[in-house]
Each structure stands twice: as structure tokens, then as C-alpha cells.
Amino acid sequence: MTDDRKYVVVVGNPTVGKTSLLITYAYNEFPEVYVPVLLDEFKRKVTINDQICKMVVVDTADESDFTDYNPTDKFFGTDCFLICYSIVDRLSFEDCEIEWFPEVRDYCPTAETILVGLKSDLRASDPHPVTPKEASELCKRVKCPKHFECSAKTSTGISELFNAVAVACLSNSNVNRTGVSERVKKTNPLRGPVRAPRRHRRLEMIENEKLKRRRNNCCECILL
């Protein structure tokens, strides 16, 4: 049986506002008091130009502390990734280019990607927020076709974002899924060596950089 659901996975650094975005979209209310680390996956139907997009939206959290964590479990068969950063957290923006785009492209090269700047309501209170120009330059570098800015707190930009997600999902005919069982089957590590979790890769990167500098008789300081 053909599975016509579209899987949307939300990734990004811790505390950028992923879960709050999804709670606000799912329940029309910003979670002022308590935000769970992970929201259970939920379904939404969005109609775009008479076409119905049945989305399954999946939240993620940094699970690199679990040594048996296999990101393919969540990533396989994804139609569209929302790669999120906080507009008031530059590191989270830089990590989109260094970590998140390479990671999702590695596991799911055919998926659509949308770059999403979160917490836009805080822009005015930050001395150096990430600007839309910087985000569109990043999009050019990583070949990401779309960028949105939203605030879960004020609900700004959320429906526009998920309409664009639906358009992206409907246009993505690359993923040949025949059902959820296949999604589970393909999580088998036979796909190839599972990459080290993100935090380990960052350490690996630093070690390689140190080695390079040592070879060039350069000092070993690394700016993190």
C-alpha cells in the first residue's frame, strides 16, 4: 500500500525553540509555563492549490549522549527537514552550516530543506541578531531554496512556514516510500557505517585541525 503521508523532521541545536514552534503550530498556543523536550509526532492536513498534503511532523532533541543513538531511525524517508536556529544564538546559526545541513544531506540526500530562524520576537533585544541577509547568504552556500523567520511566542510566520513545507513536500517526488514498514526496515545499519554523533564529530574536527596546525608548526590554540 502506498504511504502518501509526508514526513517533516525538525532539527537544530538545543533550546533554539523547535518544540515551542511545533506546540504553537499544533495547539495554537505558545507554551508559557512548561515545554517538554520532545513533542510526540503529530499529523496535519494542509491544502495547497486543491492538493492535500498529509504531514507527519516529527520533533527531535540532541541525543548524542546515547551511544547507541542511530539518527537514521528518525531521518530515513523524511520528505522535508526544517533546519532551525535561533535568531539570537549565533552558534546555532553557524551549526546549521557546519552540522545540520551536512548531517541531513548525508542521511537523506533527496529530502527538501528549509532554513528556519526562530525567536524573531527577540531580535530587537539582541545586540547582534542573525540577519535575513546572513541567512539568505547561508542558503546560497548550502543550496537551500527557502528561508523563513518565525516567532512561536507571537505566532508570527508559522502558518506561512508550514504552507511552504506543504508545497515542498508535494513537490518532492524523490522519496520512493511504499509504507511505514519500509521506513523502519531501512533504518537497518546495513546502509553503511553510522556517523559518530554530532558532539563527537565536532571533537574530531578540532583534533584534525590541531594536527594540521602541528604539521605546519603553528600554535595549537583553537577558537571554539
**Which amino acid, residue 160?**
E
Q: Round to whole Å and give the CA distance between 131 and 212.
A: 33
Member of 41, 94, 97, 121 binding ligand GTP (CB under 6 A): 121
Nearer to Mg ion, 16 or 111 (CB): 16
Q: Round to whole Å and give the CA distance between 68 and 23.
A: 28
134 binds, among Mg ion, ligand GTP, none (CB under 5 to 8 A by kind): none
120 binds Mg ion (CB under 5 A): no
C-beta of residue 169 within 8 angstroms of C-beta of residue 86: no
14 binds ligand GTP (CB under 6 A): yes
78 binds ligand GTP (CB under 6 A): no
C-beta of residue 64 within 8 angstroms of C-beta of residue 199: yes
Member of 10, 12, 13, 19 binding Mg ion (CB under 5 A): 19
92 binds, among Mg ion, ligand GTP, none (CB under 5 to 8 A by kind): none
Rounded least distance, CB 61 to Mg ion, Å: 5
145 binds ligand GTP (CB under 6 A): no
Grid cell 504531514 is found at 55
Cα-Cα end-to-end distance for the chain: 49
Q: Round to whole Å and give the CA distance between 77 and 175.
A: 7
C-beta of residue 120 within 8 angstroms of C-beta of residue 131: no
Q: Round to whole Å and give the CA distance between 133 and 135.
A: 5
> Rule CB under 6 A: which of 160-199 touch ligand GTP?
none
Nearer to ligand GTP, 20 or 72 (CB): 20
- E strand or H helix at 27: helix 18-27
Rounded least distance, CB 26 to ligand GTP, Å: 12
92 binds Mg ion (CB under 5 A): no
Member of 56, 61, 142, 180 binding ligand GTP (CB under 6 A): 61
17 binds ligand GTP (CB under 6 A): yes
119 binds ligand GTP (CB under 6 A): yes
92 binds ligand GTP (CB under 6 A): no
β-pairing, 51-58 with 42-48? antiparallel
Residue 142, CA distances (Å) to 119, 146, 147, 200 in order: 22, 11, 12, 22
Q: Round to whole Å and give the CA distance between 181 and 201.
A: 30
Chain residues binding ligand GTP by CB under 6 A are: 14-20, 35, 37, 61-62, 118-119, 121-122, 151-153
Residues that bind Mg ion in the complex, under the rule CB under 5 A: 18-19, 37, 61
